[in-house]
Amino acid sequence: MTESATGVDTKPRAPGGLVRGTLRTLRNEFTDKERRLGYILVTPAIAIILAIALFPLLYAIWLSLQEIIINQSSSFVGFQNYVDMIQDPDFHSALINTTVFTVLSVSLELVLGMAIALALNRAFKGRGIARATALAPWAFPPAIAAVMWRLMFQDQVGGGILAYLIRSSGIYTHPILGSDSALIVAAVLVDVWKTTPFMALLLLAGLQVIPQEVYEASRVDGATSWQQFWRVTLPLVRPAMLVALLFRTLDAWRVYDLLWVMGNRQLNSLSVYVYNGVKISQLDFSLGNAAAVFVFLSSIAIAFLFIKVLGTRAVD
């Protein structure tokens, strides 16, 4: 780019140039004795990393390309499992449920988490205790939290308090546990209750590294609190927000325990779909494997998207 801009080299580069250049660099790397020794020395470490990280992954992909019925034959079928999976109505419901759950829970958690983080960032008496208390829900094991909330949402044995309140306020008059959409909404609420503190904690860490001088300077320039939030706080907290959103989105995307227990094994999500295929069904082992690879690849895509979109803006 710089060369053509200065007019020194106007000829377009030959397509092979890049490859030749790379080859030359590689040759240089290995002709140097000391460098070669370096490569030899790190080879075992790299091999171990590849074996640990890559092998299971490649094995899972390999399995997903076979038709396997437990205790019976297995044969290579290419991408047939993926085709079957995409046509499976249960996969659609898993994808829809997971997407709805992820979008709703993460966005609610971001908004609420930010509000809590801003509050906790202020100096006030008992701030330490307030921070510790706010984290309490996060410390619950998800399955226990799910059982606890399920008891409050059911309206049979003893009558759950939430079921009673929701019914008598007229918001929703049908049994909550009897409808998948109501269950998803309930699960989102439980997830928000449980992980907002985690989000707040990560955001709080981001808020605390913003130097006070920036706020002072903006105040001198006559910025209102609102402007301070949009123009100072938000851009500077963005790296922390990226990390928090990334963690939460991937967690929500792979959600299993909360939905499994809340829905008493009936609420579908991508991970539930994988489990059902691999563990519950006798015939759908391959389908479950394909779905597992799908969850993995889609998680990577989500992570990539976040880093690409939020990461570059943070640099600007």
Q: What's the chain's Rg over C-alpha atoms? A: 26
Candidates 131, 80, 56; CA nearest to 284 is 80
Q: For another protein, which is the closer residue by CB, 106 or 272?
A: 272
DSSP string, 249-308: HHHHHT--HHHHHHTTT----HHHHHHIIIII-SS-HHHHHHHHHHHHHHHHHHHHHHII
- The residue (of 28 and 266) whose beta carbon lies closer to another protein is 266
User: Least separation, in Å, of the C-beta of 74 and another protein?
Assistant: 13
Give the nearest distance from C-beta 299 to another protein in angstroms.
19
Residue 154 CB, nearest approach to another protein (Å): 7
Shortest CB 69 distance to another protein, Å: 7
**Quick check: 283 and 208 in contact, CB under 8 A?**
no
3-state secondary structure of 237: helix
In the complex, least distance from residue 76 CB atom to another protein, rounded to whole angstroms: 16
Q: Which is nearer to another protein, 97 or 249 (CB)?
A: 97
Site of interaction with another protein (CB under 8 A):
69-71, 84, 87-91, 93-94, 143-144, 147, 150-151, 154-157, 174-175, 177-180, 261, 263-268, 272-273, 276-277, 279-284, 287
From residue 260, how far is each of 58, 82, 107, 109 by CA, in Å?
28, 24, 22, 21
Alpha carbon distance, N-terminus to C-terminus of the chain: 21
The residue (of 35 and 279) whose beta carbon lies closer to another protein is: 279
Question: Between 242 and 295, whose beta carbon lies closer to another protein?
Answer: 295
> Nearest distance from residue 164's CB to another protein, in Å?
13
Q: Which lies closer to another protein via its Cβ, residue 71 or residue 168?
A: 71
Phi, psi dihedrals of residue 264, rounded to the nearest 5°: 50, 50
For residue 75, the surrounding DSSP H or E stretch is strand 74-76
Match 């913003």 to its residue by tokens: 210
